[in-house]
Amino acid sequence: MVQPSQSFMRGTFVLSVAAFINRILGFISGIFVARMLGAEGIGLLMMAHPLVPLVITITELGLPVAISKLVAEAYARDEREKVRRILHVSLAVTSILSVSLTTVSLLGSEWIASILLSDPRAYYAMLAITPIAPIVAVSAVLKGYFRGKQQMKTIAASDVLEHTVQIACVLAMVHLLMPYGIAYAAAGAMAASVASEAISLLFLLASYKLYGESKEPGETWVRHLKQGRRTLSELLQIGLPTTGHGVIQSLFGAFQPLLITTSLALAGIGTVLATKQFGMLAGYVYPLLFMPGFITHSLSTALIPAISEAATNKNSLLIHKQMDQALRLGLLIGAPATVILFEWAIPLTTLIYDAPEAGLLLKVMAPMFFLHYFDAPLHAILLGLGRANTSLWNYVVATAFKALAIFVFGSQFGIVGVAYGLGFGIVILTLLNFLSISSLIGFYWDIGPYIKSGICMVLMALCGRWIFGYLNDQGLPLLWSLLGSIALSLLFYFVALTFTDTMKRRRKRSNLSIPW
């Protein structure tokens, strides 16, 4: 029998490998798009995109998470007909909602554009991306089904196929439409995303045909839907609490471009330049910041059921052990990533995007973004403890402060102020989640490894700066100077960790208990 800690780490490993492949492919796709469209074109893409996550969040109703849980339970009880009913009811609900909302979005596109889009050139891109909502919603249902069956390879294969097709389609569409103007090229890039999602959906449908459930005689969709009221109730009981967070996140994401461009306008920046600066922030800086976080997000996915199981068994020692593992992994990943993104900010944005001016924004956000590598596990711990409402309110408060900070700092200091405002929101959210967990179960925190890791970070930065300067003085190309200095500084960092025993686990038992 697999021990809970083994299952937790194995799940983290499998999800991390799949996420790493998809993140690399997505990053490559983003580089191609950024280089072909430039900062201004990326700004148009980012302005047009936020409406879609809102539509998808509403149509999914948190069902993918509920489906994976209920399907796994039904399989454990060998209730195959219930598995099919769960899938059919979920597909019916998401299909009806997504098609209806997509139709409304298309019919009211001009009115929506007049409210959300500060640059009218983003209108065509918004139209092109809108049809993706029903495709993504149905795909999410099928992925929830396969996740419940523990067929993670199917999900990983569909994601890899999607990103591969997207790279090819983006290159083709942007190349064909660029002569007609940047607005049409941005719309072509959005249309490429729709095409790649459609291919991924076809793959999932084919996989379901091959590996899905065979129907019993007399079993029909109509019969499942007629008998599906209880199943729908079970799905919504699990799905709806997780929807609130997504709705607020999507709503803020939809209005964030308008908030940013408005604050930049108050700072005296024109529409075209504001679009370009927003494109640098959202299209250049954010992908680099989020790139190393795939491991902590995969960890969080595996952490939720692990914490939930330990909480059900009232095993506070196991909860604290898993929290310690999660936060140490966040430290192990986040510390060197932060040094790299801060110390090599301008060379990275120059080499990847040919946009050295984006390096300043990356340098501003990297130190504050360090806390993001801890926030994902903290959020998962709250969910595993059954405190979804606490997590939601923490997010609401942090988002309100972030919006205020973006407006105040952006209107005073321009795009640099916006970057500080975004980082301020990350700091507030992480601290609120940390304090919530501390008040719930206490928090055993050995501060020693964090102090040692901080010292190792400083030494890594100094070492990397000297090596990068030395390699540049030798006349090496930027690529080799960058790769060589990062590789050697990382080696120095991990040697320093080993020498100081920073990651060695101190085996102390916690006397903290959970007030159930």
Banded pLDDT at 1 (limits 50, 70, 90):
very low
Mean pLDDT of 437-446: 76
Q: Choose between 263 and 440: higher pLDDT.
A: 263
Per-residue pLDDT at 222 exceeds 80:
no
Burial class (CB in 10 A: 0-12, 13-18, 19+), 238: middle
Residue 509's pLDDT band, with cuts at 50, 70 and 90, is very low
Per the listing, tokens 């796709």 go with: 29
pLDDT over 70 for what percent of the chain? 82
* Exposure string over 217-226, b if 16+ CB within 10 A, otherwise e: eeeeeeebbe
| 27-63: pLDDT as tens digits | 677 777 777 777 777 777 777 766 667 677 777 777 7
What letter would DSSP give residue 119?
S
For residue 291, give the DSSP letter.
Answer: G
**Dihedral pair phi/psi, residue 440, rounded to 5°:** -80, -50
Burial of 132 (0-12, 13-18, 19+ CB in 10 A): buried
pLDDT at 4: 46
Q: pLDDT at residue 513 above 50?
A: no
Candidate ranges 130-144, 313-327, 330-344; pick with highest mean pLDDT: 330-344
DSSP assignment string, 223-235? HHHHT-HHHHHHH
* pLDDT of residue 362 exceeding 90: yes
142-151 tens-digit pLDDT: 887 887 676 7
Instruction: Give the other-Cβ count within 10 Å of 191's Cβ.
Output: 21
Structure tokens at 45: 């893409």
User: Please, are residues 354 and 42 in contact by the beta-carbon 8 Å criterion?
Assistant: no
Mean pLDDT of the chain: 79
- Phi/psi-derived region of residue 220, left when phi > 0, alpha when psi is between -120 and 50, beta in every other case: beta
Residue-level pLDDT at 417: 92
pLDDT for res 428: 94
pTM attached to this predicted model: 0.68
Burial (CB count <10 Å: 0-12, 13-18, 19+), residue 216: exposed
Largest CA distance in the chain: 77
